[in-house]
Structure 1
Amino acid sequence: MAIQPVTKMGHPALRQKSMAIRFDDLTDDDQIVLEELVTDLVDTMHDAGGTGIAAPQIGVVRQAVIYFVTKGRGFEPVEEDIPLTVMFNPVIEPIGNEQFYDWEGCLSVPGLTGLVPRFKNIELTYQDIAGKTHKEALSGYHARVVQHEVDHLLGILYPQRMDDISLLMYSDQLEHGLPQKAREILIAQGNM
C-alpha cells in the first residue's frame, strides 16, 4: 500500500519470465497480498505518471499488470478513456500479421523513447483479481499498451522489440524533429 521504487533496465526482475498466479490455490492471506500488490502498482504508476506498470517493475516477478489509456493517445488513438484495468496471467495472440510503429517510453527505461513495431490487432486473455477469465480483441494504441506491459512479464523491454536501434533516443530530443528514417516509416504507414 505504498509507492515502490521502479526497477530500471538491467535489474534482474526485468530480465526473467514472471511466475503465474494460481487462483485455484489462493488462501485468504494470498488474496490480501494480491490486493496489496495491485495497490502498490496503482500508487507507483500514478506517482511516476505512467500509463501502465507490471509487477516486475516494482521488483515482484509475478504475472500482474495494470494500465489505463486516456482518450486520444497514440497515432491510432483510442476513442474513449479505457479505465484502470488489472490483469493477471495475461496471454496475447496476434490477430493477423499487420504491425504499426509508434513511439514508446517506459518507466524502467527513463528518459528514452524509441520507435517500436507492434501488432495492430491482438486477442487478449487474462484473469481479474477474483480469478475470472476475460477474453477480448484489442487494436491500435490499446493493443500497443497491453503488448508493452505483457512484455515485462516475459523479461522483455521495448528496446529489444525495436528493429532499428538508431531510433532509440532521449525523449527531450524529439523537440528537434524526427530523424529522417522515422519520418519515412511513419509516412509509409499514414501517420504523418
Structure 2
Amino acid sequence: MTLVFLGNSALRRVSKSVADVRAPAVRRLFEELEKEVRVEAGVGIAAPQLAHNLQATTRDFEGCLSVPGYQGIVRRANMIRVQYDDLKGRKIQKTLNDFPARIFQHELDHLNGVMYLDRMEVGSLIHNEEFEAMEWLDVQKLLLQDPPAIPPLVNATNE
C-alpha cells in the first residue's frame, strides 16, 4: 500500500465503519497501517491515508504524513473520552489526555475527511526546518499569541 498525500480525494471522504475488526482483510489493513507508520516514522496513521475508506486508525508516537514537511497550530481538547472496538472485537472505553488525546483526534479527523490544515489557526503554517531552528522559548511564545505571529511563507505583495 502507498501513502497518499494532500490533494488525493481519498483524504476527503468520510470513512465507513468497520463491521468486524477480526475479519482477515481488516487485520491485513491494520498490519499495513502499523508498517507504514513505522516506515514513515510517524505518530499515527488512518486508513484514508492509504486510500482505504474505512474507519480504522492506529497510533505510535503528531505531524501529518500526508502533508510532509509542515506543521501548524491546531486547538484540540486536552482530555477526551473515547469508545472503540479493539482487534478482538471488544468495546473499549478510555480517557485520553495530552499527546495521546491530540493524536486520537487528528486520526479521527482523517476518518471524517478532515485534514489538520482545516482546523489549523490561520497564519500558523510553518516548515519543519524553520520550526526546528526555533528556540524552545520562541515556540512557547508563539503558542501563547492569539493569533500566532508566524511570518507568511510567501510575500503577498507585488514587490
TM over 0.5: yes
TM-score by length of 2: 0.82
Aligned to 1:33: 25
- Distance in structure 1 (CA, Å) of the matches to 2:140 and 2:14: 31
Following superposition of structure 1 onto structure 2, how do residues 13-52 of structure 1 map, counting pairs within 5 Å?
13-23=10-20, 31-52=23-44
Following superposition of structure 1 onto structure 2, how do residues 52-131 of structure 1 map, counting pairs within 5 Å?
52-69=44-61, 104-131=62-89
Q: Which has the higher strand share?
A: 1
- Paired residues of 2:37 and 2:60 also in contact (CA < 8 A): no
- Distance in structure 1 (CA, Å) of the matches to 2:81 and 2:98: 12
- Paired residues of 1:120 and 1:143 also in contact (CA < 8 A): yes
Aligned to 1:133: 91
Shift of the alpha carbon at 1:159? 1.0
Shift of the alpha carbon at 1:142? 1.0
Aligned to 1:167: 124
TM-score by length of 1: 0.69
The answer as to 2:134 corresponding to 1:177 is yes
* Change in CA separation of 1:182 and 1:9 when aligned onto 2, cut-off 3 Å: farther
Aligned to 2:2: 5
Q: In structure 2, the residue corresponding to 1:34 is in which secondary structure?
A: helix
Provide Cα deviations, 1:53-79, integer angstroms capped at 9, x if missing partner. 10000010100001123xxxxxxxxxx
Aligned to 1:148: 106
Shift of the alpha carbon at 1:177? 2.5
User: What's the RMSD between the two structures over aligned residues?
Assistant: 2.2
Q: Which runs of 4+ in 1 moved over 6 A?
A: none
- Paired residues of 1:167 and 1:182 also in contact (CA < 8 A): no
Supply the AA of the counterpart residue of 1:62.
Answer: L
Supply the AA of the counterpart residue of 1:53.
Answer: I
Query: Percent sequence identity over matched residues?
Result: 33
